[in-house]
A and B are shown apart, each in its own frame.
Chain A
Amino acid sequence: MERLNVSLCGINLDNPVIPASGTFGYGYEFAELYDINILGTLSFKGTTKGPRFGNPTPRIAECTSGMINSVGLQNPGVDKVISEELPKLKKCFDKKVMANVSGFSIDDYVYTCERLDDIDEIGWLEVNISCPNVHGGGMSFGTDPKAAASVTKAVKSAVKKPVIIKLTPNVTDIVSIAKACEDEGADGLSLINTMMGMRINLKTKKPVIANKMGGFSGPAIFPVALRMVYQVYEAVNIPIIGMGGIASAEDVVEMMLAGATACEIGAMNLVDPMICKKIIEDLPEVMDKYGIKNLESIIGGAHNG
C-alpha cells in the first residue's frame, strides 16, 4: 500500500491517518477493537509535567455535528506516562508514536519535552500551545506570536526529536503565529485545535459544561480547519498536520489538497471508534475515484495554478 505513504518530518508513515490527542487515550482501549498498527501513528493524550485531574464535570456537551469538551488536560503526569502508560501502549503498537505535550510555563514545556525526548518509541513531540480549557497557560501561548515563538525556541533548543507545534484557531491571524513558530525552528505544525464554544441547558438555564465554555470539535468545524490549513500552507515551508472534523477518506484527501502532509482524526473516534480503520481502508478506493496515484503527490494540490 505504498501509495498511502507520506513522510512526516523525516519519518515514514504507512498512511497519513493519525488519531488526535485526547480522543484516543493511550491507544489500548482501541486495540480491543482493531489492530492499531494499521495507523500512520497516534498522538497520545496530552501530557503535562505533573498529574492533573482536569476540570469539574459535566465536561461534555453535544452540538449539531459536533461536541464541546472541557476536560482540562487530565493526565497522570509525565513520570507515570513514561512508567505506566507507554509500556501498555508498546504492547499493542510497534510504530513510532507522537507525544502530545502541554504546559503552564515555558519551563514546564521544556521539562516534559526533555523527558519524552529520551523515549525511543516516541517519534515526534507535538507541543500543544492551544488548549482552550486551562487558565494561565495552554492557549495563552498560542494566541500571541511572540509567546508561540518563545515556547518553540525553548523546546527546540532542548530536544532532538522533531517538534510539531499545535495551533489554536481562536486567534485573529493564525498565519502570523504559524510563521513565528517556523522562524524559531518548528519542524511542523498541527492545526486546528478546538474552537471555543458553549451550550446552555434550556431546562436549568445554565451552561451545560461546568467550566461554562469548552472546545468545539467534530465535522461542523471541518471547513474552518480546511481554510486555516490552506492559509498556513501558503505561508510556511514546514509540514502541516491537518485536523478538525475529519470524518471520511474524502475529508483526508480534501485536507491534503489544502496542504496537509498528514491528518489527525479527533472527535469522530469518540462516536465511531472504528473510524480511523474505516478511513484507511476507504482511501485507495477514494483515490481511484479521483484519479490519485499516491497521496504524497497531492499535498497542497489545491494551490497550484
Chain B
Amino acid sequence: MKQSVYEVLSNEKIAKDVFKMILIGDTDAITAPGQFINIKIDGYFLRRPISVCDWDDKSITIIYKVVGAGTSVMSKMAKGDTLDILVGLGNGYNTSKSGADPLLVGGGVGVPPLYGLCKRLVAEGKKPTVVLGFNSADDVFYEDEFKALGADVYVATADGSYGEKGFVISVISRLDYSFFYTCGPEPMFRAMAKVMKTDGQYSFEERMGCGFGACMGCSCKTLTGNKRICREGPVMESGEIIWND
C-alpha cells in the first residue's frame, strides 16, 4: 500500500454512466491484477474504492460507473486535475492457478479488473476466453480491447440488444476451461457457483470504511476463517466461499 497524489491524464465516457480515467503517478505498490485503489474526493469523507483495470510503470487505468455523488464528481474531472489515492490494495487474482485455458467472466462494472488479468494471462502464454455480461447495448464496453489482447470474447445482454440475449450463464455452459476468474454482481456469482465445472476465483464488493484492513467494516465469513474483503480479498477462492441465500 502507498499513498500518493496522481494526475488525471484523461477521463472519458465509454458507455452509459461509465467512464475510463487514466492516472499518472507511482504504481510500484500494485502487485497483481484485481487489486484496487481508494480515491479521496473533495467534499466526501470516505474514499471511493475502484478496481484497477490496467497499469504500467507510470499510469493506472480505472473504469468506474457513476452511481452516486462521489463518482459524479469524478466524472467531471479533467486532464491535469489531481487526486489523493491509496494504491496497491487487496490481494488480486492469482494467475498461477489458471491452467492453459482460463475463463474470465465479467458482469457490468465487474468487467474492468478482468482486462488487466487477461493481459497478464496472455503474457504468460495462456489462452483466455472472456464472457462479458451487460444489461443492454448502451452498457457494453471493452469488447474490442479484450479482442485486441487475443482473447475469444463473448458478449451477452439481458435485453438482447447486443450480442447474445440472456445472461453470461448460458454462454458459459457451452464452454470448456481450465480455471475461471470472475468479477460482477452477486446474483451472477450465485448462478455461476451452481454450474462452474472447475475451481475459480471470485472478486467481491462491499461497502468499505478504510479499504486497507484497519476498520473491519467489510468483513465476511469464509470456510477458511473471517476475511476482510479489502485486505484478504477482494478475490476469494471458489472453495472457501460461503453462499448465504
Which of A23, A66, A71 is in CB contact (< 8 Å) with B45? A66
Residue of B nearest to A55 (CB): B219
B221 within 8 A of A: yes
User: Contact: A270 with B221, CB < 8 Å?
Assistant: no
We find that the number of chain B residues with CB closer than 8 angstroms to chain A is 26
Complex interface: chain A residues within 8 A of B103 (CB): none
State the Cβ distance, A139 to closest chain B Cβ, in Å: 18
We find that the number of chain A residues with CB closer than 8 angstroms to chain B is 34
User: Contact: B214 with A270, CB < 8 Å?
Assistant: yes
User: Contact: B1 with A271, CB < 8 Å?
Assistant: no
User: Contact: A64 with B216, CB < 8 Å?
Assistant: no
A65 within 8 A of B: yes
State the Cβ distance, B169 to closest chain A Cβ, in Å: 26
B100 within 8 A of A: no
User: Contact: B3 with A274, CB < 8 Å?
Assistant: yes
User: Contact: B1 with A269, CB < 8 Å?
Assistant: no
State the Cβ distance, A215 to closest chain B Cβ, in Å: 12
Interface of B is mostly: loop
- B99-121: CB near A (< 8 Å → 1, else 0) gives 00000000000000000000000
Complex interface: chain B residues within 8 A of A59 (CB): 207, 209, 216-219
User: Contact: A22 with B215, CB < 8 Å?
Assistant: yes
In the complex, chain B residues 142-169 whose Cβ is within 8 Å of any chain A Cβ = none
Among A25-33, A116-124, A253-261, A293-301, which stretch is in contact with chain B?
A25-33
Complex interface: chain B residues within 8 A of A89 (CB): none
- A63-79: CB near B (< 8 Å → 1, else 0) gives 11111010100100000
A175 within 8 A of B: no
B25 within 8 A of A: no
The distance in angstroms between the C-alpha atoms of A32 and B2, with both chains bound, is: 8
The distance in angstroms between the C-alpha atoms of A65 and B45, with both chains bound, is: 6
Given A60-B46, A271-B47, A274-B3, CB of A74 within 8 Å of CB of B214 = no
User: Contact: A273 with B3, CB < 8 Å?
Assistant: yes
Partner-A contacts on B (CB < 8 A): 1-3, 40, 44-47, 86, 206-210, 212-221, 226, 231
Query: Closest 10 CB pairs between A and B?
Result: A270-B210, A60-B217, A58-B207, A74-B216, A60-B209, A62-B46, A25-B214, A29-B213, A71-B216, A59-B217
A-B contact pairs, 5 of them (CB 8 A): A29-B214, A57-B206, A74-B219, A270-B210, A271-B40
Partner-B contacts on A (CB < 8 A): 22-25, 29-30, 32-33, 45, 53-54, 57-67, 69, 71, 74, 208, 218, 267, 269-274
